[in-house]
Amino acid sequence: MKISELSYHDNSEEIFSLISDEPWCIFLDSGYPRIDTGRYDVITGRPSITLETYNKKTYITSDGNKVISEENPFDLVRENLGKKEENLSGLPFAGGALGYFGYDLSRRVENFSGNSKKNIDMPDMAIGIYDWSLIVDHHMKKTWLASFNRFHSTSLIWNDLQKIFSEIKNIKKNNFKIKSKIKSNISKKEYEKAFNSIKEYIRNGDCYQVNFAQHFSAEFEGDTWALYKKLRTHNPAPFSAYMNLPSGNILSSSPERFLKLVGKQVETKPIKGTKHRSVFAYEDKELAASLLNSEKDRAENLMIVDLLRNDISKSCESGTVNVPKLFALETFSTVHHLVSTISGRLDKNKDAIDLIEGCFPGGSITGAPKLRSMEIIDELEPDRRSIYCGSIAYIGFDGNIDSNICIRTLIYCNNKIHFFVGGGIVWDSTVESEYKECFDKASAMFKVLEEKSV
């Protein structure tokens, strides 16, 4: 491995601003300094290989050459990662696969079809193979440029990278503008109709829970990095990310981990159960307590815990899957959440790709049982979800994973900004509370988009 220590800065957006306009640059954002528990930020760019999947075709670009494959996209990521390396640095990501697996990639995992249409022209999967990363450790107050040195090109640009990231300078502030009203793809009446259809499916025994979402969009002009900086100020979250891709940009302020793998230890942390926050401390405390004691939310959370126990069991040693935390309260800038933790030990015959594919998409944003819920989602939601409810993830050359669930995520494509917001509907749900919950979850995104742009 190759490692160089650079100067530490407590706000990593200043560092990422130096390369934010480069295609395929990525910032994995822990939310620090606005979230004290945030530790590692990861910054990278200039991938050696890129993989972009549209429907059944994956376009693989390396050294300016492009090939097309119809093989399983997960297998293609494994193939381009190559042999597993030992990481002696202790750093979370020093190179490997990094990008997103969109929710619509699930059509390659599960065989289902429905009525939804694709209206966001982004790949179903966009992954780069990166041979270097800048790691900012906010607990140790250290910054490292690290690489497994897989590709000769990395040695050629190493000194240049050190120079770029050592010269923090004032970056010109760019503006953005929302040029239209933010519109949902469904009216409240249409939401109620879909809600009642889900209730009927539950009554008939098709499912126990379905995560149903609305799609919001608006005309956008300007710099998405300026918008992301505003988003991370208003809604800091531990699994945030910014991605600048040729097809568009991803601005995620996700509070939810999908999968983490370190060595053989597997962890997933589903969120299920939400309450809005109050500006009054006593009322906010009461809202948090009511969520913790809500039988409906606890039952909903437990359904997803059982689903995810089953999902990670596909790749874990028998008898190692357990639930160390059930119904823990986690509080964010606009909402309280119920979060559970499920862990296990990776089977010796499985790898990181097996784990991701076996759990994809995350059960907390589908429903239970998973396949039938996904079929109902595809039937009732007018638009395909694109990146929403997929995952931004890294799979290191060392085989380690960390990943989010792409909720609270803005998507920029073709001069429009998009975001989706949903919630799990169960038999005890009421249409008014579920509809309101969508807007509680989306409040930070509405705020950054509707405030006067800066």
Backbone angle region of 219, left / alpha / beta, with phi > 0 → left and psi within -120 to 50 → alpha: beta
Any residues with CB less than 8 A from the CB of 25 and at least 6 apart, and which? Answer: 16, 19, 43, 44, 45, 46, 243, 244
Q: 272 an active-site residue?
A: yes
Our CA angle for 308, 309, 313, nearest 5°, is 110
Per the residue annotation, which of 229, 230, 269, 272 is the catalytic one? Answer: 272
Closest C-alpha to 252, from 421, 405, 376 = 405
Local structure of 37: helix, strand or coil:
coil
Any residues with CB less than 8 A from the CB of 189 and at least 6 apart, and which? Answer: none
> CATH number for the domain including 409?
3.60.120.10
318-323: Cβ within 8 A, 24+ apart: 320/344, 320/345
Q: Interhelix angle for 431-450 vs 188-203, to 10°?
A: 140
Structural domain of residue 111, as residue ranges?
2-450
For 38, 240, 346, 437, the CA distances from 255, given in Å and listed in that order, are 12, 7, 25, 16
Task: Write down the pLDDT at residue 335.
Answer: 87
Any residues with CB less than 8 A from the CB of 146 and at least 6 apart, and which? Answer: 1, 2, 3, 4, 89, 91, 94, 95, 132, 133, 134, 135
Locus of tokens 């949902």: 184
Locus of tokens 């429905």: 114
How many domains does the chain contain in total?
1
Closest C-alpha to 269, from 250, 283, 285, 256 = 256
Q: What is the rounded CA–CA span in Å between residue 344 and residue 404?
A: 18
pLDDT in tens, 373-391: 999 999 999 999 999 999 9
Task: Write down the pLDDT at residue 273.
Answer: 86
Amino acid at 24: W
Q: What is the rounded CA–CA span in Å between residue 197 and residue 115?
A: 15
Amino acid at 74: F
pLDDT in tens, 198-211: 999 999 999 999 99
Which of the 8 DSSP states describes residue 103? G
Q: 22 an active-site residue?
A: no
Show the low-confidence residues of the chain (pLDDT under 70). 112-114, 172, 452-454
Per the residue annotation, which of 13, 52, 85, 256 is the catalytic one? Answer: 256
Task: Write down the pLDDT at residue 375.
Answer: 94
Q: What is the rounded CA–CA span in Å between residue 185 and residue 216?
A: 6
